[in-house]
Chain A
């Protein structure tokens, strides 16, 4: 805050003091939030790492199963079974709060899908196609969960960056400037006090 913008009065001093107090407590809370977010980020990162390896392994299993199903039963049979499907998996997108930050909560619902209600006959449908279908349902759940975790991680990173900037702004700009302003007002008030005393002494000596 440039000193020529400051009116050196007691009320402004009180206001600046209040703002310094508020900024310091804000700075403390922001620092705590930043540390909390960093801790949360590391936890999410571990989950994301595990989830990435699950995605890779589930994808490999699903691709192998579908390759076997296409080989044993033929592309025609696999395609035909896919056309018969009645239940499409649903994806529900919600949100949850981590330290006041909203992150997505995504859930894939494939639980209702059993061999009885898929839309094709139970007797003739090959176990190879059924296993491929199960593997892809599992992959879908893992992918959706991975998407949720990766988005949370990205949002956490953005939030940490933003909080860090705010902490730095408070620590290195806002609070020092307010303290400078406080010092300037105090100095000016003291100066005005001294000028007043001298003025009074001068008037007394004249009278």
Chain B
């Protein structure tokens, strides 16, 4: 596990770098302009807004909306990698723990690709090396012959001991879901462990993570409930450590007969007001998820201006960068698919 009592970290330098990068992020009105553009115009616009290097690099390999998606991901990965490399001490540990989600994402992409029979080049196209593991380490993982070897090697790379029972279940069922769900749970557990709540900014960051755990748990409960699954099966996917949804509330929610029957239990939660309109069995799950995502981003905004020399500005930048990349992709893919402008606007997080 990462050292919690290590070196303090170069907050001043990293925050100064991050602030400079944050000022280069697209402003809210840029998305409205992009909605009126064609795909080549969007490519040109983003290449003039900080994505030129990646667009130029990838232009021979991809075109159209694929170029936009890959270039924005590559840009984000380069930025995150740069921040991680420049950070030191406990700050580096916290950033690394936060970015481990991308390592888990890449491992999932490799495992899925391997089980499907993709070759290394095909798998490489889908990687986003924005985490601790660089492309070289990911290539090493791809080089292994079996999924089991890849999992073991990944565990060594990120210092994660995957329990024997998880590996045994995977060995029996050959269902990657077991590994993927374990990785998601372990990610939050390790992230919480890496944020020492001894100071106010770190406590705020921890609260933010706990909020994210609540949202993830609620999404999982709703996803399974929509499939008619209730009770203990749902609790098997519960991630401990949430701020408001503890095991007891999760059990109550898991045992509710329907999504609308959960409303009473959810009424006590902070985000109830943001999602209550979408809590209807007849409504699509994506409406609730969209409401939850917007709530989560709104939460991040509440502490971004506080504590200028802490982990908060760094995390705030990473959230904003990821949101920007997602928004560019939503607009580009939405325009390419001919989605209604109002639907695209509804999907944007601004």
Chain A positions within 8 Å of B, measured between CB atoms, are: 63-64, 67-68, 70-72, 74-76, 79-81, 83-84, 86, 114-128, 130-131
Chain B minimum-CB-distance residue to A114: B227
Q: How many residues of B contact A (CB 8 A)?
A: 52
Contact at B185–A123, with CB atoms within 8 Å? yes
Q: In the docked arrangement, what's the CA distance between A115 and B226, Å?
A: 10
Complex contact B286–A131 (CB within 8 A)? yes
Contact A83 B329 (CB under 8 A): no
Residues of B within 8 A of A84 (CB): 108, 112, 115-116, 176-177
> Is B34 part of the binding interface, using a Cβ–Cβ cutoff of 8 Å?
no
Shortest C-beta distance, A61 to chain B (Å), equals: 10
Given contacts A67-B334, A72-B330, 14 further A-B contacts (CB under 8 A): A67-B338, A68-B286, A71-B347, A74-B329, A83-B115, A86-B174, A116-B224, A117-B175, A121-B180, A121-B181, A122-B237, A124-B180, A124-B181, A131-B284
**A116-B177, A116-B229, A122-B223 are known contacts. Are A70 and B333 too (CB-CB below 8 A)?**
yes
Inter-subunit contact B289/A68 (CB<8 Å): no
A68 with B181, Cβ < 8 A, contacts A123-B220, A127-B289 known: no
Among B222, B223, B286, residue most surrounded by chain A Cβ atoms (within 10 Å): B286
C-alpha gap A139/B289 in the complex (Å): 23
Chain B residues with CB under 8 A of A116: 177, 224, 227, 229, 233
Query: Which 9 pairs from chain A and chain B are nearest by CB?
Result: A121-B180, A67-B337, A71-B333, A83-B116, A123-B184, A83-B112, A84-B112, A127-B285, A127-B289
Q: Are A121 and B177 in contact (CB under 8 A)?
A: yes
Report how many A-B pairs have Cβ atoms within 8 Å.
125
> Is the CB–CB distance between A121 and B347 below 8 Å?
no
CB<8 Å pairs between A and B, sample of 8? A67-B333, A74-B73, A80-B113, A84-B112, A117-B177, A122-B224, A123-B237, A124-B184
Q: Is B344 an interface residue (CB 8 A)?
A: yes
**A120 / chain B contacts, CB cutoff of 8 Å:** 108, 112, 176-177, 180
- CA distance in complex: A67, B339 (Å): 7
Residues from chain B with a CB closer than 8 A to the CB of A114 are 227, 229
In Å, the complex CA distance between A86 and B178 comes to 13
Question: Which residues on A sit within 8 Å (CB–CB) of B220?
Answer: 122-123
- Give, as a whole number of angstroms, the nearest-CB distance from A50 to chain B: 22
